[in-house]
Amino acid sequence: MTTPAINTEKNAGDADKRIVLVVEDDPGILRQIAFNLELHGYTVETAITGLQALKQLMNRRPDLLITDVMMPEMDGNELVASVRADSELADLPIIMLTARSQDEDMVQGYQNGTDLYLTKPFNPAELVTFVKRILG
């Protein structure tokens, strides 16, 4: 007896192959985010540092950026500020997903131009819901 295939076409059609760049230096969290977004039909590109992400953004603009704050080379706040300062990227939607949960961290994220600030640990279903709301 064969196991029936799981039909993910409904979920996959929701995203229309929108591109999400995920910037996260923890490989486990990066895989978790990518898996959940891909499950819902998003194309996921990844970077492990803010500097690497900035280089990728200059070559190909995604539909959404999800970034951690605490990373080597260039942190998430610096990345967001750089994106907002670039006329070609300034309107790119940004979700900051970080373990930094103090009020002042959130305020700094929003002041730098983050559209949504989520803290870790996070609920993957909630993240996907926010991605869908942001990307329409």
For residue range 3-54, list pLDDT tens digits in order: 333 334 444 455 568 999 999 999 999 999 999 999 999 999 999 999 999 9
> Domains, the chain, ranges and CATH?
16-131 (3.40.50.2300)
Q: Are 11 and 40 in contact (CB under 8 A)?
A: yes
Q: Whole-structure pTM over 0.85, yes or no?
A: yes
Maximal CA-CA distance, the chain = 58
Cα-Cα-Cα-Cα torsion 116, 110, 18, 85, nearest 10 degrees, comes to 180
For residue range 48-80, list pLDDT tens digits in order: 999 999 999 999 999 999 999 999 889 999 999
d(CA 104, CA 68): 16
d(CA 51, CA 76): 10
Bridge partners, 22 (sequence order): 46, 66
